Amino acid sequence: MRFRTHLISSLATGVMLYPRQPVSIVAVTLAGTLIDLDHLLIYLLQTGDWSVVGALRYNRYRNRIAGWGDHRPRYGSLRSWVHRPELLLPPLWALAARYALLRPIAIGLSLHLLLDHIEAPLRFTTQLLAQASCERCGRAEQRLIVYRLSGWRYGAICHRCARRALVGRHAEAST
């Protein structure tokens, strides 16, 4: 999810749950957005680059298939254990049940992780329904690329078709 989606949703959730408690609203909002600082830290440790813009650019191209002449490094995911709900949420909610001050933080982090992982079942279902065959060429392949068509609709294509689509987009952009 994008930063603005996390910011708007956590702010709206904070206002709905704590309409007369500005400190709790700020806690929900900060917890729902600042959890993404781990992406910047991992990018910094892998590249040595302190630039926020560099990390954002990297995050935009890291999942795309490298086109012709694209030799930019790909370090993989920038997610730490903090983005693993099964590791973070149980102890956090156990503490929040005991300490009321942690509840807005737990709500903000839970909302963030929900938004990050809400598409996973849709992507998995799309891959299962494709039955290991590309939607464009029909070729059977074990690893398909699941991409968003529009809204909540997804498609699954092979690496060869994805490369062709990427090269086609570059050709259209240059003309």
The 3-class secondary structure across the chain, one letter per residue, is: CCHHHHHHHHHHHHHHHCCCCHHHHHHHHHHHHHCCHHHHHHHHHHHCCCCHHHHHHHHHHCCCCCCCCCCCCCCCCCCCHHHCHHHHHHHHHHHHHHCHHHHHHHHHHHHHHHHHHCCHHHHHHHHHHHCCECCCCCCECCCCEEEEEECCEEEEECHHHHHHHHHHHHHHHHC
Cβ atoms 120, 85 nearer than 8 A: no
Q: 35-47, pLDDT tens digit by residue?
A: 988 888 888 888 8
Which of these ranges, 66-70, 155-159, 168-172, has the smallest mean pLDDT?
Answer: 168-172
Whole-number Å distance between alpha carbons of 25 and 111: 13
What pLDDT, on the 0 to 100 scale, is given for residue 103? Answer: 97
Whole-number Å distance between alpha carbons of 91 and 104: 15
Site of tokens 């693993």:
84
pLDDT at residue 65 above 70? no
| Residue 147, beta-bridge partner list | 155
Residue 123's closest CA among 151, 144, 154? Answer: 154
Banded model confidence at residue 14, pLDDT cuts 50, 70, 90: very high
